[in-house]
A and B are shown apart, each in its own frame.
Chain A
Amino acid sequence: MLRFIAKRIGLSLVTLFIVSMIVFIMMSIMPGDLAKQTLGRDATPEAYEIWNKEKGLDKPLVVQYGVWIGGVMTGDLGMSFQYEQPVSEILGPAASKSAQLAIVALILIAPISILGGVIAAMNRGKRIDRVLTVGGLSAAVIPEFVWSVVLILVFGVAIRVFPVSAFPDEENPNIINSIYHLLLPSIALLFVLFGYISRITRAGVIEALDSDYMRTAVLKGLSRKTAVFRHVLRNALLPTIAVIATQVPYLAGGLIAIERVFNYPGFGNILMDAVVARDFSLLQTAVFLVGLVIICFQLIADVLFAVLNPRIRQRVTE
């Protein structure tokens, strides 16, 4: 087991290294004079030179890469070109905002999706199973911004039960109020993620329903429902958690559109602003951190799977 984990961590580090290379290369080889763009066309050539020197852009690319990645590793995320502020001071609060949204969303999404999967599995082949499975996956392919806009239209404008901004009122900043404001964006995420998560739960529950221990439990006289909740869920839940772990980071991509629509000052919104302003120093670190989080979650998911299923463990170490 330890050998498996060590090997898996090694592979993740390699992937992470390649991610950093891709991000750095994309931010470095493209044409476009950053100094000119930031200082304006009227600045003197000397001013450009000083600016480039200040930002370390006059050094060879290898050195620039080393300085950047070394800084990130030691917690120094550099300065943002756009804000003239440390990147960490900008990304930190934004990331915590996004995390709040993600947590509220997950607390909503996980139980509903798991329940959906269990209901589908217990009614395998019946109409309700088809509706949940096909409906869930169809909802998942509709972009987040479409869901967001439609939800605002229905619940924020037509029947006015939810606030249309994800940010709580300044005069009323308690937790309940904050969560209330995060509900609508969370529902948008629910539509996108329900299909994936419930499908995995469904598969796990179906596998468990066909197992010997389930037959024993039913023979023992347990009702099907009790047996499912007492025995099956425990076995079907762990793969579901692993899938949620691999899906969580993809929230990052979807969060950009959702935070944009709900005007929420999170990581996605900052990222989008950095794109518009071409703030490369902020952008490359932010994207690298997204990659880091995703790779960590995938690592956790893989280790979880391996703990559950010794066959996988063997395959990777071989």
Chain B
Amino acid sequence: MKDSTNSEAKKLVLAERLTVLKKNKAFVVGASILGFWIFCSIFSKFMVRFDQDAMDFESINSPPSLKFWFGTDSTGRDVYSRVIIGARIIMIISFIATALGAFVGASLGLIAGYLKGKFDMVLMRILEAISAIPVIIIALLAVAAIGRSSTVITVLIIGFIFTPNVARTVRAAVLGESELEYVAAAKLRTEKTAHILFREILPNVLPTLIVEFTVRLGYAIFAVATLSFLGVGLEAGSPDWGTQVADTWDKIFTNIWWPTLFPAVAIASVAVSINLISDALLEVFEL
């Protein structure tokens, strides 16, 4: 009985927060931009105007026009189509990498925060050491070690690097929760540790985890774009935004700015939209 009223009260609180969120201007702007790019990555096939790799040698480096909305690059490829296709690549990679980091990090954080003691101490030292090396540098190190770059490796590296941050945030939240009565009650009921961790504590630290997820997602976009710009993130010739900027930006000195500016603005808009969303979530959840 008590349980059901409890969950209903929680639903009410959630509904209330959603209403507040809908009125938050930053959130609406961020969600619209991100929504647009998600739409692009799902329906890119119907949105492109040309094949992203098709080269039109008769219109090389042509400026934006009615035929080529964002112009063409130095091999006559349609920049608009490449930007639309690029959305899918960066979105999927960033999302999977963040989900991986969030899953492993949340699990480690839950266990460390609940068990405390030696496990916690050793884990925190290791995680601190990992986060003492900047994300881009540790990723470069891994790429050099493996000897080639690929999408899968990039996903694994970014997921691995985000693990400490997520673990630390979740651990701090769990430390607060594990002192509370419902945890003591569950222990008295002799529930299994896994049950207490994932069914009792996890739902209560979920808001923290969601905000952390969106923050990390923003950094994942940052990292994927930077790595592919440096030429170590994805397969060579991939039509993703970072590679597009890297391949075209030396042409801006001859005033051919369109193949560089459009993907650059695309990267910026996704990064900013995610930041606006996580900022609004932080405010609404009062974390």
- A residues lining the B interface (CB < 8 Å): 11, 14-16, 18-19, 22-23, 26-27, 29-32, 134, 137-138, 140-146, 149-150, 152-153, 156-157, 164, 249-250, 252-254, 256-257, 260-261, 271-272, 274-275, 278, 280, 283, 287, 290-291, 294-295, 298
Proximity string of chain B (231-244) to chain A, C-beta cutoff 8 Å, 1 when within and 0 when not: 01000000000100
> Please, how many angstroms separate the alpha-carbon atoms of A212 and B245 in the complex?
53
* Chain B min CB distance to A126 (Å): 15
Q: Assess whether B140 is interfacial by the CB under 8 Å rule.
A: yes
Neighbouring A residues of B249 by C-beta, 8 Å: 149, 152, 261
In this complex, what residue of B is CB-closest to A251? Answer: B134
- Which of A141, A256, A295 lies in contact with B136, CB distance below 8 A? A256
In this complex, what residue of A is CB-closest to B130? Answer: A22
Neighbouring B residues of A16 by C-beta, 8 Å: 129
- Which of A19, A26, A146, A291 lies in contact with B245, CB distance below 8 A? A146
> Please, how many angstroms separate the alpha-carbon atoms of A295 and B123 in the complex?
18
Interface size (B, Cβ < 8 Å)?
Answer: 48
> Please, how many angstroms separate the alpha-carbon atoms of A133 and B138 in the complex?
30
In this complex, what residue of B is CB-closest to A195? Answer: B275
Q: Assess whether B7 is interfacial by the CB under 8 Å rule.
A: no
* Chain A min CB distance to B116 (Å): 14
Q: Is the beta-carbon distance between B271 and A142 smaller than 8 angstroms?
A: yes
Instruction: Say whether, besides A141-B222, A146-B267, A256 and B245 are in contact (CB < 8 Å).
Output: no
Neighbouring A residues of B141 by C-beta, 8 Å: 23, 26-27, 275, 283, 287
Q: Is the beta-carbon distance between A149 and B271 smaller than 8 angstroms?
A: no
Among B136, B260, B272, which residue has the most Cβ atoms of chain A within 10 A? Answer: B136
Neighbouring A residues of B264 by C-beta, 8 Å: 146, 149-150
Q: Pick from B63-71, B144-152, B176-184 the stretch touching chain A.
A: B144-152
Q: Is the beta-carbon distance between B129 and A19 smaller than 8 angstroms?
A: yes
Q: Is the beta-carbon distance between B279 and A30 smaller than 8 angstroms?
A: no
Q: Assess whether B12 is interfacial by the CB under 8 Å rule.
A: no
Neighbouring A residues of B132 by C-beta, 8 Å: 15, 19, 291, 294-295, 298
